[in-house]
Each structure stands twice: as structure tokens, then as C-alpha cells.
């Protein structure tokens, strides 16, 4: 195992959507002997490459990915940029008054491990607590900062950091003071991570550590069933990327012979048809000014364009097209099947794996044949064999419940309890044999987390 960078070790959430009490997913590997190639070395710990999350509809699988997305947005952009309405556990009438808590265990690009957490008040619309703790290889911990509210309701901050010089100490104290006793209403909605990222350009010391954690959150990829990869046209401007896409799409038997890059002058009149003329003119002027120096991405009606100016000042667009066997009759993205469109969203993950990305996918199997989803995962393991890329995904596909494909500790379940809250747990708790047919056991209900049909309701309806 080689030393890894930018890793996801675990996540805990409480009082968010269907999560009432704290529920935790851990990517720490157990003592399972199989698939050692699925283990990465992070800060001296054995960390898993994948986590597959199963559960019945309305059990809470998607809410887990939503919790990652929601908390990431707060961390990077502040509470002003997220919708807090009804995000708490609504079945409990006290949920609105209780904090929503989100805590991560992660490793940054500097190969340092941290525990970072944030707690928000849905009622006050404020961040009420935030903490960052560095975890050393020997298990000792250093509190980088702890932001909280005391018994009298006053905000305060605390830090155990040892500084390299007096100048760094003073600068750090100034940053913390902003979140202390005299904190402004605006800063109550903002994370310390984002504040440091905006105001500091330090290359070492505690501020650099905080920047590394902030950039970890920037770098993670989150895909939902309706997500679209907006950089496709930019990617296919490069010949090596088009060849890569073409090879993967042929491998998955999509009928696409090759991915092509088509250039032409932008027809704004056609694109802006139906928009009032004065508004269309303003948009054209704004776009023209924006691309004076650098290319820009432009999305209209589910089609993404890459725009730039040629030597004569004309606005040129690059458009991704597909060759299905007739180079004179190319297909657009919107012409492809739902399954092929889904592949276009997922394939860039393979191309970018060398960046050691952490990727969260809700419904990885959406619109995909079960054999294709399995091949996708097999291809992920093959292409990322020498990288540290991780995928955490929700799925209904029981074909992936195969211990010849994944490890026991890479499989997780989420089930709905009687109080309608979600509970999360690992297959590893069942200590199954490596040759067990766990897909059949799952469908038979051995691990719970499947739909339970109430036959008495049908009987009452037929009476």
C-alpha cells in the first residue's frame, strides 16, 4: 500500500432530514483478508476505496449524500447560500430547536488527518459550533480551533496551536477574534474555513493547514441522479480526452463509434429564440465581454457550450457530438439514451482519477443495466489501481452485492426505524463467510433495509 492523499475516512450526521440521532459511516478497513487492493494507506491507517450504500426507498440513502452536499455548501459558502427550510428531522416536533451536526474525518493533500465538524441552528439560522482537530499518527490530538457558545450565550474561540513565530500567532488571533465575543451577524453564518480561505494566502503554518482542509471540501465531487458534468465540451476539445471517451463508450457497448468535437460560430438568435430582444442583446454583450480573454462555459436548454473568440473576434462554440457509424450524421448529447447520458456524467470520473478525488454518487445505477453498473465498478478498480480515488455511492443494484467484487466492510445499509428515522450500519457486523451469496440473503431480508409490504392493507381494501 502506498501513502495516500486527500481521503475520506468517515462522516457523521444528526438532525438532518431522516437522520435523527448521530449516524456514522466509516471507511476504515476491518480485518477482512480479501481484496487487499481495495485498501489505501492514509496517515498509517487502512482506508477503503469504495463504500456502497443499500436500502429501501425512503430509507434515507439519498439523504446521506444530501447531508454531504448540504454541509459542504455551508462550509464553503455560508448559511446564506443554503435552504434551511425543513431540513431538520421533522417527525420530532423539537427538531427545529435542536442543532444539525455534521462531522468529517479526512486526510488533506499534505497527508495530515483531521476531524472537522460544524453545528447549525435551524431556528436562529446561525453556525453555533465549529471545530478542527489534527490527529497525529500516534493518536494524539491537537485542537486547531474550537468555536462555540458558552452558557451565557457568548461566542468564544479556543486553540491549542503552537506557532512558529510571533507574527503568525498575532495573525491567527486576529482571525479567531472575528468569531469571538463581538461576532457580527454576518460572521455567525460563515465558517472559519471559508473566512481563512478568503483572507489568507499563507504557504505554511496553521493558516495553510486550514486552507488545505477548505480545499479538500472544494475538491470532492458530488453527483445526483439529475447531475450533469458541465465540463464535457471543454474536455473533448482535447484529442486525448476524445479518444479516452470513445474507448470507454465502445467498451460499454453504447453504439457510439467515436466522440467528436464540432466547432462553429455561435448562433445566438437561434439559442435565444423566445427571449425578449432587449434581454437577448444584453446577454450577448455580457457573454462577449466575459470571453474577451478566456473561454467560458454557457448552458442553454440542457446543452453545454464552450465559447471562445477566434482571431477575427467571432464567438466560436465547441460542441460535443457522437458518431454512431455515419460521420456525416453526428448525434448530439440530447439524442442519446438516458443510460448513455448517465455514462457521460460518470466517465469524467475515470479521466480525473489521477487527481485522487473523493467522489459521492447518489444512485450510481440510475438508467444503467445491472451488468453495466458492475462493469463500471470493475473498471473503476482497474483504472484507479495506482491512484487514491474513492467512490461512495448509493444503489439498489443487488448484483453488486458480491464478495468476489467488493469487501464486506465496503457494503453499508440504511433502514427506516419505527419512528421514521434512518439507521446506518455495515454488512461487516454480520461476519459473513467470503463465499456467502449475500445478494440473495439481502433480498430475503437478512440484513433488513428492504421494503416491507403490508399485505393486511390490501386485504382491507378488498373487503
Q: Considering the entire predicted model, what is its pTM?
A: 0.86
DSSP bridge partners of 120: 100, 127
User: 20: closest CA among 28, 12, 9, 10?
Assistant: 12
Q: What percent of the chain has pLDDT over 90?
A: 48
Q: Is the separation of the CB atoms in 240 and 250 below 8 Å?
A: no
Mean pLDDT of 135-162: 92
Q: What pLDDT, in 10s, does the model give residues 264-294?
A: 777 777 777 777 888 778 877 877 777 776 6
Residue 32's pLDDT is 86
Residue 68's pLDDT is 97
- Cell digits for 436? 456467502
Mean pLDDT of 52-74: 92
Give the integer Cα–Cα distance in Å for 151 and 401: 49
Q: What pLDDT, in 10s, does the model give residues 344-403?
A: 888 887 776 556 689 999 999 988 888 889 999 999 998 888 788 899 999 988 889 989
CATH of domain 1-220+357-463: 3.40.50
Q: In the chain, what are the domain boundaries?
A: 1-220+357-463, 232-336
pLDDT averaged over every residue in the chain: 85
Give the integer Cα–Cα distance in Å for 304 and 302: 7
Q: What pLDDT, in 10s, does the model give residues 286-313?
A: 777 777 766 666 666 556 567 777 777 7
Categorize the per-residue pLDDT at 103 as very low, low, confident or very high, splitting at 50, 70 and 90: very high
Q: Is the separation of the CB atoms in 364 and 23 below 8 Å?
A: no
Q: Helix or strand or coil: residue 3?
A: strand
Residue 453's pLDDT is 45
Q: Which residue has cell 454583450?
A: 285
Of the listed ranges 34-43, 187-196, 297-306, the one predicted with least confidence: 297-306
- HSE value, Cβ hemisphere, 13 Å, CA-based, for 92: 20
Categorize the per-residue pLDDT at 232 as very low, low, confident or very high, splitting at 50, 70 and 90: low
Rounded to the nearest 5°, which phi and psi values hold at 375?
Answer: -65, -35
Mean pLDDT of 146-168: 90
Amino acid at each position: 500500500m502506498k501513502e495516500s492523499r486527500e481521503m475520506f475516512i468517515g462522516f457523521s450526521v444528526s438532525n438532518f432530514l431522516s437522520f435523527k440521532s448521530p449516524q456514522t459511516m466509516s471507511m476504515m478497513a476491518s480485518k477482512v483478508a480479501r481484496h487487499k487492493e481495495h485498501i489505501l494507506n492514509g496517515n498509517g491507517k487502512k482506508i477503503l476505496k469504495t463504500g456502497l450504500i443499500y436500502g429501501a426507498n425512503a430509507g434515507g440513502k439519498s439523504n446521506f449524500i444530501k447531508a454531504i452536499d448540504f454541509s459542504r455548501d455551508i462550509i464553503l459558502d455560508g448559511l446564506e447560500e443554503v435552504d434551511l427550510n425543513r431540513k431538520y428531522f421533522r417527525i420530532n416536533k423539537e427538531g427545529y430547536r435542536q442543532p444539525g451536526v455534521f462531522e468529517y474525518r479526512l486526510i488533506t493533500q499534505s497527508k495530515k488527518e483531521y476531524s472537522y465538524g460544524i453545528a447549525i441552528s435551524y431556528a436562529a439560522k446561525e453556525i453555533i459550533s465549529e471545530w478542527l482537530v489534527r490527529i497525529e499518527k500516534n493518536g494524539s490530538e491537537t485542537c486547531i480551533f474550537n468555536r462555540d457558545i458558552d452558557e451565557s450565550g457568548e461566542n468564544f474561540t479556543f486553540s491549542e496551536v503552537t506557532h512558529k513565530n510571533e507574527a503568525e500567532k498575532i495573525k491567527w488571533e486576529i482571525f479567531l477574534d472575528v468569531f469571538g465575543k463581538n461576532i457580527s451577524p454576518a460572521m455567525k453564518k460563515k465558517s472559519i474555513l471559508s473566512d481563512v480561505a478568503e483572507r489568507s494566502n499563507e504557504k505554511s503554518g496553521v493558516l495553510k493547514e486550514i486552507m488545505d482542509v477548505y480545499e479538500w471540501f472544494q475538491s470532492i465531487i458530488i453527483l445526483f441522479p439529475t447531475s450533469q458534468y458541465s465540463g464535457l465540451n471543454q474536455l473533448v476539445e482535447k484529442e486525448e480526452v476524445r479518444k479516452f471517451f470513445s474507448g470507454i463508450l465502445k467498451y460499454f457497448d453504447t453504439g457510439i463509434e467515436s466522440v467528436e468535437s464540432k466547432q462553429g460560430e455561435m448562433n445566438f438568435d437561434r439559442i435565444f429564440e423566445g427571449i425578449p430582444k432587449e434581454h437577448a442583446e444584453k446577454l450577448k454583450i455580457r457573454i462577449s465581454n466575459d470571453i474577451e480573454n478566456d473561454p467560458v462555459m454557457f448552458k442553454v436548454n440542457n446543452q453545454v457550450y464552450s465559447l471562445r473568440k477566434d482571431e477575427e473576434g467571432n464567438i466560436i462554440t465547441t460542441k460535443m457530438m457522437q458518431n454512431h457509424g455515419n460521420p456525416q450524421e453526428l448525434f448530439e448529447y440530447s439524442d442519446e439514451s438516458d443510460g448513455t447520458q448517465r455514462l457521460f456524467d460518470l466517465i469524467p470520473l475515470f479521466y480525473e482519477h489521477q487527481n485522487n478525488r473523493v467522489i459521492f454518487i447518489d444512485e450510481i445505477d440510475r438508467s444503467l443495466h445491472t451488468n453495466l453498473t458492475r462493469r463500471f465498478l470493475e473498471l473503476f478498480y482497474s483504472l484507479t489501481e495506482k491512484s487514491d480515488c474513492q467512490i461512495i455511492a448509493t444503489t439498489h443494484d443487488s448484483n453488486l452485492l458480491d464478495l468476489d467484487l467488493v469487501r464486506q466492510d465496503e457494503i453499508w445499509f440504511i433502514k427506516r426505524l419505527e419512528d421514521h428515522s434512518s439507521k446506518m450500519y455495515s454488512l461487516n457486523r454480520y461476519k459473513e463467510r467470503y463465499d456467502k451469496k449475500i445478494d440473495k440473503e439481502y433480498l430475503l431480508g437478512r440484513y433488513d433495509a428492504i421494503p416491507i409490504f403490508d399485505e393486511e392493507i390490501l386485504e382491507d381494501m378488498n373487503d
